[in-house]
Amino acid sequence: MNPETFGQFFDPAAANHTLSDVLSVIASWDDLTPARRTLYVHSVNKVMHIQAVSAPPRHGPARFTCEGLNATLWLRAPTTFGVKSNQAFSNLISACRAVLTRMGLHDAKVPLTPAWQQLAERLPTRERKIGLTGFMQFCSANMIEPQDVTAESLDGFERWSWFVDHVMAS
């Protein structure tokens, strides 16, 4: 990656990142090989399609953000989205994560929202903090505040955790 073009031509503070916006940004990255550019374009198109047809109405229009993608990609098994295998899904996620990171929209260390941070500070032992950090980060990344946690939130975290533990780790 060319450090001079990192984040160039893109405003990470923009509220919505449409498919057209993201594809324009990818087209501006002149340091990509044709194969890498094709992979990024294909992956972004695929996840935006998945989001457009799968997102619950409460999530609004398809957005190429961590929150927007997390709200749909972890809802069901990858095969239900037409992705042939867990490895293909892993590759799809990795490519989108690379695009999000390069656009300045993804950080592997998800900061906790203030409400989750307050709860984390009140946990009495180090073991509890370690045990709950992943769930608090998942909720923070998906804009789920403590008072809004539901059985659906727990199911989403379980699917996400399984995927991270079994697919991303392999």
124 and 89 within one domain: no
pTM of the model: 0.58
The pLDDT tens digits for 59-100 are: 555 677 776 777 677 777 888 888 998 889 889 988 998 888
Q: Of 107, 139, 155, which residue constitutes the final position of a domain?
A: 107
Establish if 169 belongs to a structural domain. no
The pLDDT tens digits for 29-48 are: 999 999 999 999 999 999 98
69 and 96 within one domain: yes
DSSP secondary structure string for all residues of 114-164: HHHHHHHHH-SSHHHHHHHHHHHHHHHHTT--GGG--HHHHHHHHHHHHHI
41 and 66 within one domain: yes
Half-sphere exposure of 122 toward its Cβ, with a 13 Å CA cutoff? Answer: 6
125 and 65 within one domain: no
Establish if 27 belongs to a structural domain. yes
* Structural domain count of the chain: 2
Residue in this structure with the two tokens 């990024």, named with its chain if needed: 40
96 and 37 within one domain: yes
148 and 78 within one domain: no
Q: What is the pLDDT of residue 60?
A: 55
84 and 40 within one domain: yes
129 and 83 within one domain: no
Host domain of residue 160: 109-164
Distance, CA of 77 to CA of 24 (rounded, Å): 30
115 and 102 within one domain: no
Please check whether residue 37 is in contact with residue 52, taking contact to mean a CB–CB distance below 8 angstroms: no
The pLDDT tens digits for 119-141 are: 999 999 988 888 888 889 888 87
Establish if 170 belongs to a structural domain. no
98 and 22 within one domain: yes
Closest CA to 73 of 111, 39, 103, 100: 100
135 and 86 within one domain: no
Q: Of 107, 123, 155, which residue constitutes the final position of a domain?
A: 107
Establish if 149 belongs to a structural domain. yes
Q: Of 62, 86, 107, which residue constitutes the final position of a domain?
A: 107
Amino acid at 76: R
Angle in degrees, CA 36, 42, 48, rounded to 5: 135
100 and 115 within one domain: no
Distance, CA of 136 to CA of 151 (rounded, Å): 15
Residue in this structure with the two tokens 């953000």, named with its chain if needed: 65
Please check whether residue 4 is in contact with residue 31, taking contact to mean a CB–CB distance below 8 angstroms: no
